[in-house]
Amino acid sequence: MKLPGISVKHPVTTSMVFVALFVLGLVSLSQLGLELFPDISFPTAVVFTAYPGVGPEEIESSISEPVEDAVSTLNGVERISSVSSEGVSMVIINFSWDTNMDTIVSEIREKVAVVEEDLPAAAERPSIVRYNPEFLPSIILNVSSSTPGLELRRLAEEIIVPELEKIEGVATVGVFGGKVAAVTCTLDLNSIAKLDIPILPILRVFEAENVNLPAGSISIEDQYIVLRTLGEFTSLGDIKNVLIGYKQTVPVYLGDVAEVSLGYLPREQFFRTESGDGVQLAVRKQPGHNTVDINRMVKDQVDRLRQTLPPSVLVKVQSDQSTQILNSIGSVARAAVFPAQYPFHSDHLGGHSSIRGGDLFPDELCRHQHEHCLPDGDHPRSGDVCG
């Protein structure tokens, strides 16, 4: 017996099957993850190499070009481009879509390792990153305050960011803008010249002092103790007391030739809001987690943090991917439930037409109705209204 016959003969069973499928569909729909972009892997990789304090031309000749030559022999390479800026080299490698990006990253690393020994010694080790749409922030927050002098970046890094990173599914929270607190040492060139101490040894001694080093281990009876030497600075006095050299037999300390103070790094990032200087927080989620759920938990956590932050501090949402996702899904649902409310567009021979429910050639429809409702042989007259 064919399926239509079975359905007609057993209507109750057929109805129960369709109800079960409907309920199963609703349950499955509630468990689906909502994302703005599909889970795809773009065939693009980027090689980053930092070389602080070097100009773009030297970056290009000493780093970008050797890395480009090394990766150009990889299979599936379609295009290689590079961006050489002050202190940073970025080599962008585009592969064909059939390239397995899971294995190509290791191949890139092998190629870069061959030329890594030829790169400048002061350059940092190259890092390889695959492009992924999920690297984009799922939600961006703006932090501002009407109180002048408030260290918003420090407040964000010490209070807001740790609480947001505790949320399950949050990968990182990037901070942009604001003043970065740092210890600044301003050298007195006149004092250095009088003491006849070169600047480069001062920098090397200063860097070598601020480290903790392992000192081995010892065993005392039944105890095993690991030793280390503490050399990191804990106060401004420790920095001022760094020995940088001798003038004959007299020791010279950093405090003798420099002014050590707690200040801020030169600003390279600026973020402005309607209240003045502000800080921007970019929240990135972990791959595989639901964007809508993550953003909802982030906004709930922000609401709780507002109760503990100073009254003048405002935390606002600048962009939210979950809003775009829900709007897109809502549009699709409305189109599915009320299709007649959405126009049908078509291009025919270069022309454009638009058809809506209820607008299907009203004159012809009216004439057709008249021809059916008037007696035989009569025709619609001017002024007749369709009934």
The per-residue pLDDT for 79 is: 92
Average pLDDT of the segment spanning 120-127: 88
**Domains of the chain, start order:** 44-131 (3.30.70.1430), 137-180+267-326 (3.30.70.1320), 181-264 (3.30.2090.10), 343-387 (no CATH)
**DSSP SS3 for 330:** helix
Indicate if the pLDDT at residue 1 is higher than 60.
Answer: no
* Nearest Cα to Cα of residue 275 among 312, 317, 302, 311: 312
Inter-CA distances, 60 with 85, 253, 337, Å: 8, 39, 57
Inter-CA distances, 284 with 41, 176, 293, Å: 17, 14, 13
Indicate if the pLDDT at residue 151 is higher than 90.
Answer: no
Element (H, E) at 340: none
Indicate if the pLDDT at residue 30 is higher than 90.
Answer: no
Beta-carbon contacts of 84 under 8 Å, excluding residues fewer than 6 positions away, are 56, 57, 59, 60, 63, 64, 90
Phi, psi (deg, nearest 5) at residue 4: -60, -40
Which pLDDT tens digit goes with each residue over 321-355? 888 777 777 776 677 666 655 554 444 444 444 44
Please report which confidence band the pLDDT of residue 38 belongs to, taking 50, 70 and 90 as the band edges.
low
- Give the whole-angstrom CA distance, residue 277 versus residue 271: 6
Q: Are strands 170-176 and 127-130 parallel, antiparallel or unpaired?
A: unpaired
- Give the whole-angstrom CA distance, residue 350 versus residue 201: 75
> What residue ranges in 13-52 does DSSP mark as E strands?
44-50
| Mean pLDDT for all residues in the chain | 79
- Give the whole-angstrom CA distance, residue 358 versus residue 343: 11
Beta-carbon contacts of 367 under 8 Å, excluding residues fewer than 6 positions away, are 380
The CA angle 108-105-94, to the nearest 5 degrees, is 75
The answer to whether the beta carbons of residues 354 and 345 sit under 8 Å apart is: yes
- Give the whole-angstrom CA distance, residue 279 versus residue 150: 11
Please report which confidence band the pLDDT of residue 160 belongs to, taking 50, 70 and 90 as the band edges.
very high
Report pTM. 0.59
- Give the whole-angstrom CA distance, residue 131 versus residue 48: 13
Which pLDDT tens digit goes with each residue over 85-109? 888 999 999 999 888 887 888 899 9
